[in-house]
Structure 1
Amino acid sequence: MLELVKAGGWPMIPLLLLSLVALAIIVERAWTLRRAAVMPPGLGKEVRAWASRGKLDPSHIESLRRTSPLGELLAAALDVRNGTREQMRERVEDVGRHLVHRMERFLNTLGTIAAAGPLLGLFGTVVGMIQMFLVIGDQGIGDVNQLAGGIGKALVCTATGMIVAIPALMAHRWFRGRVGEYIVSMEHEAIQLLDTIDPPARAARPARPAPVKARA
């Protein structure tokens, strides 16, 4: 392995650094985006039971906010439970955007690594080929076996770039899909909570007209 790294030359250094960064991001996101950490099982049902029984004191809401992203979203809806349904929906959407941004943290970096890996590998190969042809121009072709070995060493960077990019691309796609799945599930839980706090029949009831002031 060390011989392959040496064969690739200095372009292998950024590729190795990218591989370490990609590995760190994959491990961190895999741990952070666990279902139990994002959407604890039974949490939505428990919060709806709180809401139906009226147990919505500030301490309960604050403890809910610290449990998970789903808890933070449901707590945001409970913060404005005395407002209109439209106000609650706006609050949920606003907090939801921040939660999505937080769950997608580092994913752009991972996607950049997936795109840059093959390009850096190709760059290393081109550098190796240029050095080889410069030697050929000075000393001639010489031994064909040495020439073939030199070409093989130059291709090490291309292979390394693909090795870095393929897992990074697969992880990037997988995490994106997982975040999208969480968004849909969290939206469903939030809608169920809104229906518990403010049933659709009540939401559909027309607003009471404002009293008309008597003219002076």
Structure 2
Amino acid sequence: MFYLLQSDTLQKAVTAVVAPPEKISMWSLLEKGGWIMYPLYMLLIAAIFVFVERLLAIRRASRIEPNFMSIIRDNIMTGNVSAARSLAKNTNNPVARMIDKGIQRIGKPIDAIEKSMENVGKLEMYSMERNLSILSLIAGIAPMFGFLGTIVGMVQLFYGIASTGEYTLNTIAGGIYTKMITSATGLIIGLIAYVGHNFLSTQIDKTANRMEAASAEFIDILQEPTR
């Protein structure tokens, strides 16, 4: 009888040792970060919203027909300036608006035409870069919120030790959770915003290069009859 009880106790102990640890969901893990997580959630939502909105706007701005400048050239070379103006006016992208301004200034000195087109280009660049600074701001402050969570977690840790007088795993677990989860979340959100900002900046630079190439080609078209 004693042998059976001893075997049963040993079997239960072995089962308890080899039992798999209790699984925890990602949401439950994030909740352990405390109230600091809510500002981080808001920053993440803002970063995603700004990135998607700017990405769609920049893609619309960079969309231009491959033969757009060829048609402009043919119309101007044949003296059909009104057709060139109509095409540029009815095309909704920065390149077309810049060319439209140049067509309006035909007959004036080349320097004046270039200056007018340059001013339009600056306005279009400003329009594409609108709200892009929000991503840069989020990339900077999200890790700071994470570090704030680290401070809050350490305060909870020392408060728990001071309250119980015990330095046990249960005492320090809450503070460690807050410290690690908020720090990791803040860094991840900051990284997402940083990558998104640089990606959009690269797309804007590509569009700006297309605008500069179109501007140079338009000036060449105006000077071509006098060569």
TM-score range, shorter chain: 0.7 to 0.9
Residue 186 of structure 1, aligned match among 207, 211, 226: 211
- The structure with the larger Rg is 2
Q: Is the 8 A contact 1:141 1:147 kept in 2?
A: no
Uncovered stretches (5+) of structure 2, i.e. residues with no partner: 1-25
CA contact (8 A) 1:39 1:69 kept: no
1:1-150 to 2 correspondences below 5 Å = 1-34=26-59, 37-42=61-66, 43-57=68-82, 61=85, 64-65=88-89, 66-148=91-173, 150=175
In the aligned structure 1, how far is the partner of 2:204 from the partner of 2:86?
24
**Percent of matched pairs sharing the same residue:** 28
Kept in 1, the 8 Å contact 2:51–2:196? The answer is: yes
Distance (Å, rounded) in 2 between the aligned partners of 1:145 and 1:153: 14
Tell me: CA distance 1:37–1:90, structure 2 relative to 1, closer, same or farther (3 Å): closer
Higher relative contact order (CA 8 A, sep 6+): 1
Corresponding pairs, count:
200
What TM-score, normalized to structure 1?
Answer: 0.84
Higher helix share: 2
Give yes or no for contact 2:75–2:84 (8 Å, CA) kept in 1. Answer: no
- Which residue of the other structure, out of 179, 182, 189, is the alignment partner of 1:164? 189
Query: What is the distance in 1 between the residues matched to 2:86 and 2:180?
Result: 57
Q: Pick from 175, 178, 181: which aligns with 1:153? A: 178
The alignment yields a C-alpha RMSD, in angstroms, of 2.0
Give the match's secondary structure for 2:108. Answer: coil
